[in-house]
Amino acid sequence: MATDLNHVTIIGRLTRDADLKYTQAGFAISNFSIAVNRRRKNGDQWIEEASFFEISLYGKSAETLKPYLIKGKQVAIDGELRQDRWEQDGQSRSKVVIVANNVQLLGGNAGGGGNVPAGGYSQPTRGSYQPRMQEPSGPAGGYEPQYDSPYGGGNDSFPEDIPF
């Protein structure tokens, strides 16, 4: 018997700041959209195309990441597709949304704001790896993620002995 799979990994830039709402029970829901650019060749010319995707993020991750999810910020989303269905004016409607299981903030920020660590910050929503943050230090005073690696080193070092 075949097993179904619903998994999406996508990288793009936010097209608007994330909004944050709460259900009557106090559960946090953040919605935002991203644009994913693609280049393809049509004859002798390269054509740029953009695709737009709606993202939903739930729970503590929605609250924690809200200040960092600003227009222009590049993010990697790992999640699953969900089809919302409803009826409007007697017609059936539907929309496909990506429900994020993990959001990774990436380098560039076209929006120019926010105090985001240079290496990005991952906020998983389902029991996966989280970086631990250290107190502000140095002239910039920003947070830097510290990763515990079995191969030693910190953010700026690379092990000499590669285990493969």
Burial-class residue 118 by CB neighbours within 10 Å (0-12, 13-18, 19+): exposed
Q: Is the pLDDT reported for residue 131 higher than 80? A: no
Q: Please state, for a pLDDT cut of 90, what percent of the chain lies above it.
A: 59
Average of per-residue pLDDT values in the chain: 77
Task: Indicate the pTM of the whole model.
Answer: 0.63
The Cα–Cα gap between 67 and 31 comes to 13
Indicate if the pLDDT at residue 57 is higher than 60.
Answer: yes
